[in-house]
């Protein structure tokens, strides 16, 4: 199954309210102070997760039937991949600048080995040649500002006064009509933690629930966006997963977007919240609603046990690249367990190094190989992991682009990503969106939305 718009054209992608009558049910004090009647909007601002004690990247054997490096005679020598129909169209190895049109991430200090660690097969771990086989031109570079880490568009307000904001919101909803602009001015300029304080102050001052009042005054996409902004991040993700799994059909892309992009700590908190808020086991629900290799990938993600050591083992990257080739392109059929083992356990910096080693060795990029070896949801899940290893802001920029591409707008995806990334890396997502699609995110949102909903979205993205 082909991945839309991949490779070189820039980076390509990817509702509803619960049953009525649940709006007033709140969990006990100290838990997530939200009724179960919120729309699924996932995610939030995530603190860095501490090391879980999971074995370091260098400690994984070639388990699960994964062939040992060089264990098959069909494995190519460096640069010696067999000729395939389509020639260069299958991807040529990158320079340090990118992979098949996918913009590269901010410069990050992953640590690890020196820049020129000898690797099996004679590949250095440092800079790659500037000339690509087949004469491909260099890939898009990122703005210099993206080398300074990530940044959200929403910062905590200075001189914050929760009681003053609560009073502003009450006046905006009191009497005939609603002053939506006053609501926009408050919620778009407060952090999630500050919004929780406003909600608590509102109930203390007026003996009423702010969320219920907002629901009674708003409707449609504006209501969904406002409620998303007032929902605690972990609860938000847990509810999104629960909504994606319940009822007829399963929203696989929501499961992938959350479980394949979050940190270990975030995933463990989501699993606990899912159990405490909905009385259900997330892993069991995933097993009952998915199957095959996709099920196994999501179960692996649910463990929250990815290696998070930021140091890169270049020797292991070369060995993993050989294992992946021998489990896919270098054999008849595919050893899916090998792909699952490596992509579910290695750190994102380690996976990026593995992708670089794979391109040098196989003369094609790993994303393209996954597209040829897998299909359906498991292909999307594996590609999401690799895309986040390469450039997380570009992954979310791509998702936003496809949420607004063509007839109609996928408003739930638009709301979920804008809100959940607003305090993490929405600045970089905006930059990648402009680089990849030659149009600003704000311009695209303005052309696809209207009214107060558009005004609030634009305020969040800083347009």
Contact 95, 366 (CB under 8 A): no
Residue 155 burial (CB count, 10 A)? 12
How far are the Cα atoms of 103, 166, 209, 225, 419 from residue 204, in angstroms, in the given order?
Answer: 48, 10, 9, 24, 26
The sign of the torsion formed by the CA atoms of 349, 352, 358, 363 equals negative
The two domains 314-390 and 392-461 share their CATH topology (first three levels equal): yes
Digit-coded pLDDT (tens) for 290-316: 999 999 999 999 999 999 999 999 999
Structure tokens at 447: 């052309």
CA distance linking residue 279 with residue 428, whole number of Å: 37
For 129-164, write each residue's pLDDT tens digit.
333 333 332 233 344 444 457 799 999 999 999 999
Mean of the per-residue pLDDT values of the chain: 77
Per-residue pLDDT at 67: 53
In the chain, what are the domain boundaries? 162-218, 234-303, 314-390, 392-461
Cβ burial 262-299 (10 Å sphere, 16+ → b, else e): bbbbbbbbbbebbeebbeeebbebbeebbeebbbbbbb
Residue 209, class by beta-carbon neighbours within 10 Å (0-12 exposed, 13-18 middle, 19+ buried)? middle
For residues 93 and 379, give the distance between their C-alpha atoms in angstroms, rounded to a whole number. Answer: 21
Among 26-35, 328-337, 362-371, which stretch is predicted with the lowest mean pLDDT? 26-35
Q: Rounded to the nearest 5°, which phi and psi values hold at 370?
A: -60, -40
**What predicted TM-score, i.e. pTM, was given to this entire model?**
0.72
**Superfamily of domain covering 234-303:** Annexin (1.10.220.10)
The predicted model gives 343-370 an average pLDDT of 96
* Contacting residues for 114 by C-beta, under 8 A, at least 6 apart: 125, 126
Q: What is the CATH number of domain 392-461?
A: 1.10.220.10
The answer for residues whose C-beta is within 8 angstroms of residue 239's C-beta and 6 or more apart is: 36, 38, 40, 41, 42, 231, 277
Name the more confident of 132 and 459. 459
Average pLDDT over residues 447-460: 96
For the domain covering 162-218, report its CATH number.
1.10.220.10
CB-based contact 103:435 (threshold 8 Å): yes
- pLDDT for residue 89: 33
CATH of domain 314-390: 1.10.220.10
Buried residues in 107-122 as b, exposed as e (16+ CB within 10 A): eeebebbeeebebebe
């Amino acid at each position: 199954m082909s991945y839309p718009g991949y490779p070189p054209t820039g980076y390509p992608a990817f509702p509803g309210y619960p049953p009525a009558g649940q709006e007033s049910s709140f969990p006990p004090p100290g838990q997530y102070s939200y009724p179960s009647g919120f729309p699924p909007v996932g995610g939030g601002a995530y603190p860095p997760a501490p090391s879980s004690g999971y074995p370091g990247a260098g400690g994984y054997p070639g388990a699960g039937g994964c062939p040992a490096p060089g264990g098959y005679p069909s494995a190519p020598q460096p640069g010696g991949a067999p000729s395939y129909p389509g020639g260069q169209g299958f991807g040529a190895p990158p320079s340090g600048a990118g992979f098949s049109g996918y913009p590269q991430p901010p410069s990050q200090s992953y640590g690890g080995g020196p820049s020129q660690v000898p690797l099996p097969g004679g590949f250095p771990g440092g800079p790659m040649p500037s000339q690509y086989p087949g004469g491909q031109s260099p890939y898009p570079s990122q703005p210099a500002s993206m080398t300074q880490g990530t940044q959200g568009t929403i910062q905590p307000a200075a001189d914050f006064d929760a009681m003053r904001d609560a009073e502003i919101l009450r006046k905006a909803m009191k009497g005939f009509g609603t002053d939506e602009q006053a609501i926009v001015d408050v919620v778009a300029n407060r952090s999630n933690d500050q919004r929780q304080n406003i909600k608590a102050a509102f109930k203390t001052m007026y003996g009423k629930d702010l969320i219920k009042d907002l629901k009674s005054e708003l409707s449609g996409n504006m209501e969904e966006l406002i409620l998303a902004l007032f929902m605690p991040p972990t609860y938000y993700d847990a509810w999104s997963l629960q909504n994606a799994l319940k009822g007829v059909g399963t929203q696989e892309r929501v499961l992938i977007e959350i479980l394949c992009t979050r940190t270990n700590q975030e995933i463990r908190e989501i699993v606990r919240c899912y159990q405490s808020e909905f009385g259900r086991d997330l892993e069991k629900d995933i097993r009952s609603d998915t199957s095959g290799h996709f099920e196994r990938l999501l179960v692996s993600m649910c463990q929250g046990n990815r290696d998070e050591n930021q140091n890169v083992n270049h020797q292991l990257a070369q060995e993993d690249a050989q294992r992946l080739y021998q489990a896919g392109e270098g054999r008849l059929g595919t050893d899916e367990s090998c792909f699952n083992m490596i992509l579910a356990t290695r750190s994102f910096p380690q996976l990026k190094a593995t992708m670089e080693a794979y391109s040098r060795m196989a003369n094609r990029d790993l994303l393209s190989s996954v597209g040829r070896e897998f299909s359906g949801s498991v292909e999307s899940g594996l590609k999401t992991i690799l895309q986040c290893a390469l450039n997380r802001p570009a992954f979310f920029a791509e998702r936003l682009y496809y949420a607004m591409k063509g007839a109609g707008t996928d408003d739930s995806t638009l709301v979920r990503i804008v809100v959940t990334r607003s305090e993490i890396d929405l600045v970089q997502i905006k930059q990648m969106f402009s680089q990849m699609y030659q149009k600003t995110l704000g311009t695209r949102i303005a052309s696809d939305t209207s009214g107060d909903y558009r005004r609030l979205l634009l305020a969040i993205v800083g347009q």
